[in-house]
A and B are shown apart, each in its own frame.
Chain A
Amino acid sequence: MLIRAASITAIAKRAAWAALCAAFILQPVGAQSTNFKASAGSKSTAAEAAVGATTTSSGDVAKTLQTAAEALGLARWSGVGGQRLPEVDVINTMEIWGSGTTYSPGPSSKPGEPGTAFKTEYHAALGYNPPAMRVEATRTALGPAAQPGAAPQHTIEVVREKYAWNESELGAGLVPGKGTVTPAVAAVNARLLQLWTLPYGVIKAAIAAGGKTKVSTENGATVLTFPLSGLLSDVMVKATLDAQNEVAKVETQTDNPAHADLNTETEYSDYADHGEILTDVKSPGRIVLKQGGHPVLDLKIKTLDANNPYLIFPVPANVKTAAAQ
């Protein structure tokens, strides 16, 4: 009886997967819009061009954002604080573990690839209040660049609000004699962009953009367009939702030539609750990031802890000093 039940469950799961895959395949993302070209000083024009013909009312925008927030498991309520409390955005901190391939300038691993490919183990700890992210990567070169016996590269890159730094070990620079910390002032914007182009960051930022957020339909898919704020205020975001209202594709664009590295395109797919402790927070199982049309990162998510884990990002004193100069 139990085996039969298990088989039925397995068949049901396969059917669900098939439906999900079909939905992804049939989903006309249509996000390669050639008219998503923000021009300097004309954000609204760019936004209007990007959204195409259908710009919806503020009520429609709010409804779309709530639906997308619920699809991700971001908009939630519970009787814990009172049975008549509204839904709120419950996501603050999360931790992601994945593996895949990253690319950086250098000899190509194989024809058609833009640079050196690295087998990469990826671990990100992040938070939105305050905005912060710590990415720990262990990379081993593939192809011609691979050095037999070479030790993998291990990096820890951190950003918090207007500060960015690299750590030799977790939390370096906070306790005397524990590791070294190197300010990375020039990397602040690119690292913040990683945070705000994750599906949760997209929904939060679209909500924060208020009346500047537009909703349209492109080839049957819902598209959100909005500017980021703060240090990234010259970046426009175009986010395409899939049939389940999950963020499927995020394109960012700026006309500021000094920020060319902020022109990105990220695809998210294979959404599921990837937590060991389930949270009903959906996360993508695959992340593909491109810059200038070339892959930068292709990641499979192993685990995502969305349970607001204890993650903190204290800014080392020398990083504050460097930022003030």
Chain B
Amino acid sequence: MTRYFQSEKLIVAFALLCLLPAAVFAQNNGGPRMDHENTLPPTPVGPTPMAPDGHPDLTGLWNGLADNLLGVPNQMHNVGIEVGTDSTRDIYSGVQIATWPLQNRKRQNNEQNERAATLLRRMGSNRPIYKPQYWQRVKDFDANSNEEDPSNNCMPAGVPRMGVPSYIAQTPTYLIFVYPGQGGLIATATSYRMIPTDGRKHTNLEDLDGTWNGESIGHWEGDTMVVDSIGFNSTSWFDQLGGYFHSENMHVIERFHRDGNTLSWTVTVEDPDVLLEPWTTTPRVVLLNPDPKAILLESLPCSERDFAHVVTKEHH
């Protein structure tokens, strides 16, 4: 037992060393890294550029937040928690959450930091409502995600778990989304989507082979780009954390709305096989990279993370 404990400590230390390249890489991805004092969404600045067809132009490098997930909103924001300097709010419920000022913050070591992160990532109230027979499965998946997470071993995150694209190119008939992979311990493979916006209809579901990203088709509803996707495999989870599995009947509706230099992304997941009702994420807002010359740098190769994560379930 003691031998195991000592080995465990060594492996944890090694895992933390493995984390370093990811952290360093995240600081060099083309955007200004912000040492966040809050997780409030960025305030829109400037006019919204319009495409020749009269719709907003979504084209741009959307990694201006440049935090540890390549510019997408950090994970506190992803669970719908807005942390300010002296107040915190659950966006979904509107509930105010007790907050203690930074200067009074208790010191903690890396292990405490990791455990706190696990709690922080899961404290939001906006959770999908599964049918009761699946409640235990979701809990088990989340608790054992170091072994069960389908994105382990460099597998794709899939739609919508892959989040907001870091780069969007908009043409009159297509959208191109690019999702850079992340190396190190936070391992995801680079991915892309080519989304027709030419008015075509979905293929019949029964004629589609289920895939990670499904079949996506976009259309405009006013100034909002709506990307509708069907035809998934049942392998992926549909949010970054939580063990939220789905069936092949999942239907995903993404809504992109540009306001100046910000882009809001909201997702609705329908899956009558496993969910009691459709689930809609709290909006996640990304920021345009302020550097007009910024480009997406090459991602580090995805490295399997089983070794690090098999050690403990506390930091997943």
Residues on A lying within 8 angstroms of B by beta carbon are 2-3, 5-6, 9, 66, 69-70, 75-92, 127, 129-130, 169-172, 174-175, 178, 204, 207, 277-281, 305-312, 314
A310 and B243 within 8 A (CB): yes
Chain B: minimal CB distance from A164 (Å): 18
B102 and A86 within 8 A (CB): yes
B142 and A309 within 8 A (CB): yes
Q: Determine if B268 is an interface residue (Cβ-Cβ < 8 Å).
A: no
| Chain B residue with Cβ nearest A84 | B37
Chain B: minimal CB distance from A82 (Å): 3
A175 and B132 within 8 A (CB): yes
Q: Determine if B127 is an interface residue (Cβ-Cβ < 8 Å).
A: yes
Chain B: minimal CB distance from A94 (Å): 10
Chain B: minimal CB distance from A242 (Å): 19
Tell whether A76 pairs with B119 under 8 Å between CB atoms, given A5-B2, A84-B102, A280-B112. yes
- List the B side residues contacting A207 at CB < 8 Å: 98
A50 and B37 alpha carbons, distance in the complex (Å): 40
A195 and B306 alpha carbons, distance in the complex (Å): 38
A80 and B76 within 8 A (CB): yes
A252 and B54 alpha carbons, distance in the complex (Å): 63
- List the B side residues contacting A9 at CB < 8 Å: 2
A90 and B114 alpha carbons, distance in the complex (Å): 13
A309 and B143 alpha carbons, distance in the complex (Å): 8
B99 and A80 within 8 A (CB): no
- List the A side residues contacting B98 at CB < 8 Å: 69, 75, 88-89, 204, 207
- List the A side residues contacting B313 at CB < 8 Å: 277
- List the A side residues contacting B202 at CB < 8 Å: none
Q: Determine if B35 is an interface residue (Cβ-Cβ < 8 Å).
A: yes
A305 and B127 alpha carbons, distance in the complex (Å): 18
User: What are 14 residue pairs bridging A and B, where the CB atoms are less than 8 Å apart in the complex?
Assistant: A75-B106, A78-B114, A81-B77, A82-B83, A87-B104, A89-B99, A90-B123, A130-B95, A174-B132, A277-B118, A307-B143, A310-B139, A311-B139, A314-B276
Chain A: minimal CB distance from B111 (Å): 8
| Chain B residue with Cβ nearest A173 | B132
Q: Please name 13 further chain A to chain B contacts, defined as beta carbons within 8 Å, in addition to the given A78-B114, A309-B143, sorted by A numbering.
A: A76-B120, A77-B108, A78-B116, A84-B36, A86-B85, A88-B83, A88-B100, A90-B119, A129-B90, A129-B97, A277-B143, A308-B123, A312-B129
Chain B: minimal CB distance from A180 (Å): 13
User: How many B residues touch the partner, as a band?
Assistant: 35 or more
Q: Determine if B113 is an interface residue (Cβ-Cβ < 8 Å).
A: yes
- List the B side residues contacting A312 at CB < 8 Å: 127, 129-130, 135
Pick from B83, B132, B138, B142: contact of A85, CB below 8 A.
Answer: B83
A82 and B100 within 8 A (CB): no
B129 and A314 within 8 A (CB): yes
Which of the listed residues B37, B120, B129 has the most CB atoms from chain A within 10 Å of its own CB?
B120
| Chain B residue with Cβ nearest A62 | B100
- List the B side residues contacting A278 at CB < 8 Å: 115, 314
A169 and B88 alpha carbons, distance in the complex (Å): 36
- List the A side residues contacting B35 at CB < 8 Å: 82-84
Chain A: minimal CB distance from B161 (Å): 16
Residues on B lying within 8 angstroms of A by beta carbon are 1-3, 6, 34-39, 67-68, 74-77, 81, 83, 85-86, 88, 90, 93, 95, 97-102, 104-106, 108, 112-125, 127, 129-133, 135, 138-139, 142-143, 242-243, 276, 312-314
Chain B: minimal CB distance from A56 (Å): 17
Chain B: minimal CB distance from A197 (Å): 18
Chain B: minimal CB distance from A75 (Å): 6
- List the A side residues contacting B2 at CB < 8 Å: 2-3, 5-6, 9
Chain B: minimal CB distance from A167 (Å): 9
A87 and B106 alpha carbons, distance in the complex (Å): 8
Which of the listed residues A6, A76, A172 has the most CB atoms from chain B within 10 Å of its own CB?
A76
Tell whether A82 pairs with B125 under 8 Å between CB atoms, given A2-B2, A88-B97, A174-B276. no
- List the A side residues contacting B243 at CB < 8 Å: 310
Tell whether A306 pairs with B119 under 8 Å between CB atoms, given A87-B99, A312-B127. yes
Pick from B37, B76, B119, B138: contact of A307, CB below 8 A.
Answer: B119
- List the A side residues contacting B118 at CB < 8 Å: 277, 279, 307
A174 and B106 within 8 A (CB): no
- List the B side residues contacting A305 at CB < 8 Å: 143
A75 and B100 within 8 A (CB): yes
A92 and B276 within 8 A (CB): no
| Chain B residue with Cβ nearest A80 | B117
B119 and A81 within 8 A (CB): no
- List the B side residues contacting A81 at CB < 8 Å: 36, 39, 74-77, 83, 120
- List the A side residues contacting B113 at CB < 8 Å: 78-80
| Chain A residue with Cβ nearest B75 | A80
- List the B side residues contacting A204 at CB < 8 Å: 98
B142 and A129 within 8 A (CB): no
B116 and A77 within 8 A (CB): yes
- List the B side residues contacting A308 at CB < 8 Å: 119, 122-123
B314 and A85 within 8 A (CB): no
A85 and B36 within 8 A (CB): yes
Chain A: minimal CB distance from B88 (Å): 5
- List the B side residues contacting A83 at CB < 8 Å: 35-36
A167 and B193 alpha carbons, distance in the complex (Å): 45
- List the B side residues contacting A70 at CB < 8 Å: 106
A129 and B93 within 8 A (CB): yes
Pick from A77, A82, A306: contact of B38, CB below 8 A.
Answer: A82
| Chain B residue with Cβ nearest A128 | B95
